[in-house]
Structure 1
C-alpha cells in the first residue's frame, strides 16, 4: 500500500535482483503516490481502493503466468524457492494449490507443518493455510472461476478468513490441494491475525464459519474456543464474550449476503 517505488522488492530477493522474476504489483494507493516500473518483468497496477482480497483478485485477473506465488511485501524469499516450487508442481501437475512452509527470521518454522507431502487434507489443514504459503495453478482456478471472497480480508468487513474460503471453494470443486514440506519464504513472527483483539477475531470467526459450514457454524466456533483455551490464547472468563461476538458476526454476514 502507498508505495512510490519498487525499492521494497530489494530485500525480498537477497540472492539476486528482483527483475529476474516476473512480478505483478498491485499498489493500493493515492494518485500522488504511484509506482512506475523500470523493468519489463515488473508490471505495476496502481489502484485507488482498499481491500486485500480485491488486490489479489485484480492480480489474478491480470497475470498470465501458469504458476502464481501470492506474496506480501514483507517476506524474504529463500534462494531455492523457485526450484522447490517447480519440482513440487512437476510431481503434482494437476494440483490447484500447493502450500509450502514459512520460516521466521530466526530460522524456525512459523508453525507446525506436516513432515511429509500431504494430499488428503483435513478441515483443520485447510483452515490454517496462509496466503504467503500458497502457490496457485492459475489455469485450474480460472477453469472453475475461483477468486477470493471480497467480503473477507484486510480492508473488508471481515478482516480475516479469505484464505480459508478460497481453499474451501477449491475443495468443494474436488480440486487437488497439496501441502509440501519445503520452505519458500521467511516472515516476521507476528501477523495481523495475532494482533487482532478477541471480540474482532471471533466476530470474524462467526462470519467465516457461517460462510464455510452454514448451520454448523457454532460447533466450529466452540472447537476454535476449545483449541485456544488449550493453547492459553484465551481465558475461561472470555468465552461468553467470544461466543457473543461470533453470533454478531454471523448475523452481519447473513444480512450483507
Structure 2
C-alpha cells in the first residue's frame, strides 16, 4: 500500500529559512510518498532556492496575509487522502510522519493534533498538552493547535477554515478550534496524540517589548472571543459556558503570574482577557 501524505507549509518569510524543515520532511522514517505544498504569503513571487526545486514541491504565492486563507489554498491543492499542516518555524523528529500515520489509522481519525514541545525541550508548548492521548470534544480542545494538524479526507467534500478568524485576520486566533467545532458538529472523529512531538519556538520569541506582547495576545484573545460568538446560535448554553470559562482562566492567569512577578505573562493574560471580550462583542459586525 502506497502511503501518500501532502504537507502544507504556509509562510510569510524568506524561503531560505525553510531549508532545515524541508530536509527533515525528506528524511522521515518509513516509506512515504510525500508532496510538499508551499503557500507563500509574500509581497512578490520569489525565485525558488535550489532545495525547493523538486517535482514533489508545489509553490504558490498569495499576496493576502491571511493564514486561514493560505491553509484553504493548501486544502484545495492537496490530492492525497492524508494531509498535514506544519508551521514554518518548527522542527520535527525523524519518526514524526510514521508515528502520526500509525496513530491516525489505529484510531480511525478524521482529524488529529500532535503534542508540541518547546524548542530543544521536552516541555509542552502549552500546559494543556498533557501526556495522555484523548478523543477531542468541545470541552478539551485547548490542547490542539493547527501547527500539528492532520486531516484524513474520508469523503470528497472538504471543510475549510474561516478567513475571518486566524493570524492575519481581524480576529487573530482560534482558527483550529473553529475548525474543530465545525467538525464535531459533523460528527467527525478527532484525537489529540500525546506520543508524537514537534518542536516550536517559545511564545515570547521575537517580542521585544510590552506593547508587542500586548498586541499579539490581544489579537489572539479577539479570535477566541469571536469563536464563541460565531457558534453561539448553534448551542447557546455551551458557547456561553465555554466563553466565561475562558475568561475565568485568563483572570486566574493574571493573578498567578502577578504572584510570581512574571510581567510578560501578566500582560499576556490581561491582553487575552480583554481581547476575548472585544472579539465576542464585535464578531456580529462581520457576519
TM-score by length of 1: 0.82
* Separation in structure 1 between the aligned mates of residue 174 and residue 25 of structure 2, nearest angstrom: 33
How many residues align? The count is 252
Which of 215, 231, 238 is matched with 1:212 structurally? 231
* Separation in structure 2 between the aligned mates of residue 82 and residue 32 of structure 1, nearest angstrom: 30
Which of 251, 254, 257 is matched with 2:284 structurally? 254
* Separation in structure 2 between the aligned mates of residue 242 and residue 87 of structure 1, nearest angstrom: 36
2:114 is the alignment partner of 1:100? yes
User: Does the residue aligned with 2:183 lie in a helix, a strand or coil?
Assistant: helix
Q: How does 1:23-172 map to 2 (within 5 A)?
A: 23-31=36-44, 33=46, 35=48, 37-93=52-108, 95-108=109-122, 109-111=124-126, 112-119=128-135, 121-140=136-155, 142-143=156-157, 145-172=158-185
Deviation at 1:184, TM superposition (A): 3.5
CA offsets 1:53-92 (integer angstroms, 9 cap, x no match): 0000000000112111111100111111111012112312
- The unaligned stretches of length 5 or more in structure 2 are 1-10, 206-211, 259-265
* Separation in structure 2 between the aligned mates of residue 16 and residue 203 of structure 1, nearest angstrom: 34
User: Does the residue aligned with 1:231 lie in a helix, a strand or coil?
Assistant: helix
Alpha-carbon contact 2:111-2:151 (below 8 Å) kept: yes
TM-aligned CA distance change 1:82 to 1:244, over 3 Å: closer
* Separation in structure 1 between the aligned mates of residue 25 and residue 159 of structure 2, nearest angstrom: 33
Q: Aligned-residue CA RMSD in angstroms?
A: 3.3
TM-aligned CA distance change 1:191 to 1:39, over 3 Å: farther
Deviation at 1:50, TM superposition (A): 1.7
Which of 221, 226, 246 is matched with 1:224 structurally? 246
Deviation at 1:240, TM superposition (A): 10
Which of 192, 197, 208 is matched with 1:179 structurally? 192
Alpha-carbon contact 1:101-1:183 (below 8 Å) kept: yes
TM-aligned CA distance change 1:241 to 1:190, over 3 Å: closer
Which residue is 2:20 aligned to? 11
TM-aligned CA distance change 1:87 to 1:4, over 3 Å: same
